[in-house]
Amino acid sequence: MRLLLIVLVATAAWAAEPLELERGRAVYRDACEACHGREGDGKGPGAANLTPRPRNFVTGSFKFRSTATGDRPLLRDIVRTVTSGIRGTWMPAFGPILPASDLRAVSAYVLAFGPKEDPPDQLVGELQPLADTPALRDRGKALYETLQCGQCHGPEGRGDGPAAATAVDDQGQSAAPLDFTIGLYKAGSSPEDVYRTFVTGLDGTPMPSYGDSLPKEEDRWALVHYVRSLSRSPGIFRWLFAPRTSWE
């Protein structure tokens, strides 16, 4: 009965076919249930030993979205995360493993765990990045200081700001700010990925949306290019043996 309810509601909300949801359930059982739990509550048998903890899908709160703060993600947002994985966590990239149909099916099943509402509007769609220039980076550096990004991420972007030690997520776990010098981001490291994170924020973490604070496209891209300029090229040993962190 529970599965039937999920299928009917999800079909209405995300235009997923019943057979697709059934396939998503099978993929979820094999690939996701051990960490995220049978009920999607983040309490799978392997969850207790993982840092950060697996996402609780029931709340409908997702970090990586193209939608506004507080809104659920779109299906394509979940597909992107499942496909690419989340760097710095135990969430692997399933893109090389699963066919596109299974990636979509399991993503639709994941969304069905959350609140049953109509899909939200897309806040960040296709982007046309502004070219990275010294002048734009200088503007971004000034914005980094004005917005007090260093309070969490540190003055040099090393994740060592004065508020870093006490930062926690919505599950009460440590949510250490990202060390930008590493050059690897949970939601992707391309300019478009970093832009999306700045504009939408990461729900469930101390990272807010700067969409309202940066209404001008030029300022948004300036901050993106400045932050990305802080990264260093990692050596092979650092790449292989650097400890996992709860990057936010």
Please tell me the predicted confidence (pLDDT) of residue 248: 34
Based on the structure, what is the number of domains in the chain?
Answer: 2
Establish if 193 belongs to a structural domain.
yes
Which CATH number characterizes residue 204's domain? 1.10.760.10
Residue 140, both tokens: 């971004």
Q: Are residues 148 and 58 in the same domain?
A: no
Establish if 23 belongs to a structural domain.
yes
Q: Are residues 143 and 44 in the same domain?
A: no
Please tell me the predicted confidence (pLDDT) of residue 11: 40
- Summarised one tens digit per residue, pLDDT across range 19-47 is 999 999 999 999 999 999 999 999 999 99
Name the residue range of residue 153's domain: 134-241
Q: Which of 76, 111, 146 is the last residue of a domain?
A: 111
C-alpha of 158 from chain center: 20
- Summarised one tens digit per residue, pLDDT across range 79-108 is 999 999 998 889 999 999 999 999 999 999
Residue 117, both tokens: 């509402």
Please answer whether residues 51 and 246 qualify as being in contact, where contact means their C-beta atoms are separated by less than 8 angstroms. Answer: yes
Q: Are residues 49 and 87 in the same domain?
A: yes
Q: Are residues 218 and 186 in the same domain?
A: yes
Establish if 192 belongs to a structural domain.
yes
Phi first, then psi, for residue 66 (nearest 5°) are -110, 15
